[in-house]
Amino acid sequence: PGALMAGKRGLIMGVANNRSIAWGIAQACANHGAELAFTYQGDALKKRVEPLASSVGSNLVLPCDVTDAASIDAAFEELSRTWGGLDFLVHAIAYSDKDQLTGRYVDTTPDNFAKSLQVSCYSFTAIAQRAERLMTDGGSLLTLTYYGAEKVMPHYNVMGVAKAALEASVRYLAVDLGEKNIRVNAVSAGPIRTLAASGIGDFRYILKWNEYNSPLRRVVTIEEVGDSALWLLSDLGRAVTGEIVHVDSGYHVVGMKNPDAPDI
């Protein structure tokens, strides 16, 4: 453990369980000396998040459903009362109706389109608005995206459209908040078996495909995403903003299937 994050306070949004990407990032930050707060969505997850938080020395665990502006405000008011400021924030939140993460994108419904974009894209902007007020000494905001924003992935559908919008919002937010030395970046993670990923059709196939065809010939872990996130959240990343960093074993550079890959 080092002191890279000593004296820094960060809010981690999106831990559902110990397989969550947000949890990999939280552990990396805590191991380097950060003080953490967590939000959870709904009472069912409270029981899971509280023990994880306490295992990294945090007892600041707040409810926050990003579809409810009052709930976001309440979480930030509590954070403001307790800490008075904030140095970094991790947004690892996405949602789409499972029924629409299969079949064709063209069949997506207006209701699910709106809900998916609200939770998976707009919520990052809603949170950046509140975080800006607390980050009086500069700061770092990080969200999670996926290659399905850039290229068409089977079954990713409306989530790909939401991630494309999220990546564009990273760039707009970086410009808006840059004057205050608040940096805004995203990690584009390779596929990882999490609760959210279990909603995506044929996820096993996607994992195998990435393993066989990425330059490093393997999939990535939440600990590895955590270590790259640490760079962007810490002062090591102090000149980096508006960036989408791929943490995907290099999969995004590959133009064709590996000719030596076995059949899946």
Give the interface with ligand NAD as residue ranges (CB under 6 A): 14-16, 20-22, 41, 45, 64-67, 92-95, 119, 144-146, 189, 191-192, 194-197
Within 8 A by CB and 6+ apart from 179, the residues are none
Of 11 and 15, which CB lies nearer to ligand NAD in the complex structure? Answer: 15
What is the rounded distance in angstroms from the CA atom of residue 167 to the CA atom of residue 83?
Answer: 29
DSSP letter at 10 equals E
What pairing do the DSSP bridges indicate for beta strands 182-189 and 244-247?
A: parallel
Task: Quote the least distance from Cβ 170 to ligand NAD, whole Å.
Answer: 12
Find out whether 89 is annotated in a ligand binding site: no
Find out whether 248 is annotated in a ligand binding site: no
Q: Are 17 and 243 in contact (CB under 8 A)?
A: no
Query: Among this protein's residues, is 156 annotated catalytic?
Result: yes
Q: Which residue type occupies 214? A: S
Task: Quote the least distance from Cβ 28 to ligand NAD, whole Å.
Answer: 14
Find out whether 195 is annotated in a ligand binding site: yes
Task: Quote the least distance from Cβ 35 to ligand NAD, whole Å.
Answer: 21
Of 66 and 131, which CB lies nearer to ligand NAD in the complex structure? Answer: 66
Of 33 and 129, which CB lies nearer to ligand NAD in the complex structure? Answer: 129
Find out whether 27 is annotated in a ligand binding site: no
Task: Quote the least distance from Cβ 19 to ligand NAD, whole Å.
Answer: 6
Q: Which residue type occupies 44? A: A
Query: Among this protein's residues, is 146 annotated catalytic?
Result: yes
Strand order across the 182-189 sheet: 61-63, 35-40, 9-13, 88-91, 139-145, 182-189, 244-247
Which tokens go with 22? 């947000």
Of 136 and 198, which CB lies nearer to ligand NAD in the complex structure? Answer: 198
What is the rounded distance in angstroms from the CA atom of residue 169 to the CA atom of residue 127?
Answer: 12
Find out whether 194 is annotated in a ligand binding site: yes
Q: Is 12 helix (H, G, I), strand (E, B) or coil?
A: strand
Query: Catalytic: which of 95, 146, 147, 251?
Result: 146
Find out whether 264 is annotated in a ligand binding site: no
Of 22 and 158, which CB lies nearer to ligand NAD in the complex structure? Answer: 22
Please report how the helices 69-82 and 123-134 are oriented relative to each other, as an axis angle in degrees rounded to 10. 20
Task: Quote the least distance from Cβ 193 to ligand NAD, whole Å.
Answer: 7
Please report how the helices 123-134 and 157-178 are oriented relative to each other, as an axis angle in degrees rounded to 10. 20
Query: Catalytic: which of 40, 95, 147, 156?
Result: 156
Give, in degrees to the nearest 5, the angle at Cα 191 between 28 and 240: 50
**Binding site membership for NAD(+): which residues?**
14, 20-21, 41, 65-66, 93, 163, 192-196
Q: Which residues are catalytic?
A: 146, 156
**Binding site membership: which residues?**
14, 20-21, 41, 65-66, 93, 163, 192-196
